[in-house]
Structure 1
Amino acid sequence: MRACVQDRIEDAFCHLTPGADELIAFALPRDWLDWPVDRWEKGPDDDTPLGCVHPVVVTDHARRRTSTRHVLTSAWQRLDSRAGARVHRVGCGGVEDPRKLRLALLQSEAGLAGFGATPRAARTRPHFETSVTAPAPVIVWTRRGCDPEEADCAGSADCPGTAFLDALDGLVSRAPPAQLPRRVLSLRQRADAEDDHWARDIQLLWDDPRRFTDPHATAVHTRSPVA
């Protein structure tokens, strides 16, 4: 699969205007959203992580529905006026009722859901599903967050998930949501050069329908993760 993706990415670059900003988006089934696609090799003769060369995001394939794209477009029109975003923190303890989380994401000014635990964690899996289907325009988590098996973690100060959310707060408060893929690219480059950098396994679900080609409109998008 990796070799196929590498070929499709190279092919898609032929369709970009020279000098244009690129964005590589993997439209994945929901159970695959935690895949470390940003760590895949750039090419067969270049083992540089893909996410250290290009902005790489994931999207939920099921959110390609027209009605969901309409809701997301409206959300992004509101986000465009902001110089930064606010994180709705979902701690690894998962104490918030998922129904209240949905309401908060729909009605509050938070444009981003941040998770201290991975989507694999049973205690926060319902919250992740809720964030995806709300739909939240941006969701960020770490693939090495709070241990999914550590069921009794209450999100203390020494929890890696809490440390991740604290660092994430500082990042998104200073970055317009539209710039997050590029900001995360810079973070991944630094994390690749440093041991134990907080963003080494950061995963970014970033879904702006205005930036993605209609999957049925062109042959390019159906064959490539580059939009």
Structure 2
Amino acid sequence: MWLNDEHVIGSAICAYRKSLKRTYPKHVVIDGLFNQAKLDEVIKLLRQTGAWQSQKHTYSALYVDNTQWQKTNNEQRFVQRDVWQRGAININTTTTNSSHSNIIQEFLSYLRGDEFMSVLSRIFKVSLTDMNVAEPEINTNYFRLGPNDFVAEHADDSPGREVCMLLYLNKDWHINAGGELVFIGINDEPINIAPLHNRCVLFDPSSEGSEHWVNALNSEYADTFRYNVTSWYWSK
């Protein structure tokens, strides 16, 4: 229901595996993986302004408050963005009703469910599970970046973390708007990936060249947000 079947048949899985073998970092880009109509419903809810909260990370501490943030210098700050607040849907708006309100959480749950994790396991040839993850739900969420936000260079290679997924939800994204995901790559050859709508990026965070950042949004698109889902997965 959430996936477009042609992207998860046997031949497609084989093609993704081949991509992992020849790329640095080990990654695959899949356009159109998810059902477009259902993503459209999700996007309507993401545009609600009241459901977002600022999130800040430094290299020495995650989820810092404003007081901690002000005490750190710019070199220590590597993430400033908005994170979606579960349960913050305003069901009184004209764009939503109770069934629509459920779909945004339904999608997050699907991304941590057996069906989707089985697809990832087939691609990466590793058994993924939330069996030993203390709080699985915090490892899958919606994020947005505005013109003043940033994601500086960092690595996602926590012990046991096998797969990282990024899904972009930016309809009619302009080629000059910025916001590209950039892998450091190897041999001074970074890899740039535009945040196009329904583009899914899967990568092995422990593979060579997987350190990454996000290019700043272009100031001439000051009224534009860059939306994505980020999800991290562990093995047994």
Normalising by structure 1, we get a TM-score of 0.33
Q: By percentage of residues, which structure has more strand?
A: 2
Q: By percentage of residues, which structure has more helix?
A: 1
